[in-house]
Amino acid sequence: SQTIHQWPATLVQPVGSPLSLECTVEGTSNPNLYWYRQAAGRGLQLLFYSVGIGQISSEVPQNLSASRPQDRQFILSSKKLLLSDSGFYLCAWSWHPPTEQFFGPGTRLTVL
C-alpha cells in the first residue's frame, strides 16, 4: 500500500529565516506530487505540482519554491520566510494519469 510522509509536523521560524519542508511517498513510482497551503479557516490553495523528477509547475507567484530531486521526494523551500508564509502545508500524491489525490499529515508552519 502507499503511504505519504511529511516532516516536520510543526515548525516555528523567525521572519527572514530559510525553510525546507520534505514530503516522501512510499509504495508507488512516478506519482504526481503536489504542495498545498491552507491558511487558518480557509480552503486549500495549490502552490506547486510535479509530474516527474525535475518537473515543477508553479501555480501562484510567491516567496516559495519547490524541487523534486528524486521520484518520490518533493521539497518545499524558501530563502527568506515572510509572516504571510504561516499556514498549514499539505503534500499530496496521485497516480499518473491522475485520479484522486491522497494527502499527507501536513506541516503547521508559524512564522514569527
32 binds other proteins (CB under 8 A): yes
We find the least distance from the C-beta atom of residue 18 to other proteins, in angstroms, to be 24
Q: Smaller CB distance to other proteins: residue 20 or 55?
A: 55
CB 81 within 8 A of CB 17: yes
Regarding 29 and contact with other proteins (CB under 8 A), the answer is no
Which parts of this chain interact with other proteins (CB under 8 A)?
32, 34, 42-46, 49, 51, 57, 59, 88, 90, 92, 94, 96-106, 108
